[in-house]
Amino acid sequence: MKTILWATLTANGNYAQSGPDNPPKKEALDDFTAQANAAGNLIVGRRTFEGMQDPSRISAEEQANAGGPFTGLDIVVLSKSAQAIPGVTVARSPQEALDFLRKKGHPTALVSGGAEIHNAFLSQGLIHEVIFNVVPVMEGKGLNLLIDQEAYRHKPVQLLDCKSLGSGVVQLRYAMNG
């Protein structure tokens, strides 16, 4: 099973944080929905999942579309503490999340954030490919994506694709086995 990490980065290379003062770009969100639907699944950290559930962050269009854009997908929420959450599968570790999706026959798993989850997968060497959507925003002090710093100081990766998504959003796609 191929594991893809999907993330939005700011123009100055931070791991982008969205909120009321910096709402996600429509082009990046549409791409995320398309990638998740293509994979048929998404893996998400407990804090990001709770943010996705916040009604103030869901558009009127999504509220009208009962179930939202992820209806029918296998959603895996990573948490060491949460008990069962209706409609999703809770996994206790990155490997447990991948084992669940592999057993369900998914050829691809989409790891969609947030920072702790992305860094857990990267540092455990569980990612085959990364998709970065770079948005035209500079951010002050913020979050970073980190590889296993004991194993690597620099890890070359292979550029697979580079394209514009519109409104200044640029998508970069890399294979981790550069």
Told to check if 46 binds ligand NAP by CB under 6 A, we report: yes
Options 43, 114, 173, 174; binder of ligand NAP; rule CB under 6 A:
114
Told to check if 76 binds ligand NAP by CB under 6 A, we report: no
User: Near ligand NAP by CB under 6 A, which window of 34-42, 43-51, 65-73, 150-158?
Assistant: 43-51
Told to check if 33 binds ligand NAP by CB under 6 A, we report: no
- DSSP track, 119-155: HHHHHTT--SEEEEEEES---SS-B-----TTT-S--
Residue 98: DSSP 8-state: H
Report how far residue 23's alpha carbon sits from residue 173's, in angstroms, rounded to the nearest whole number. 23
Report how far residue 6's alpha carbon sits from residue 31's, in angstroms, rounded to the nearest whole number. 10
Options 98, 101, 110, 115; binder of ligand NAP; rule CB under 6 A:
115
* Residues of this chain that bind ligand NAP (CB under 6 A): 7-8, 15-18, 45-48, 78-82, 92-94, 113-117, 120
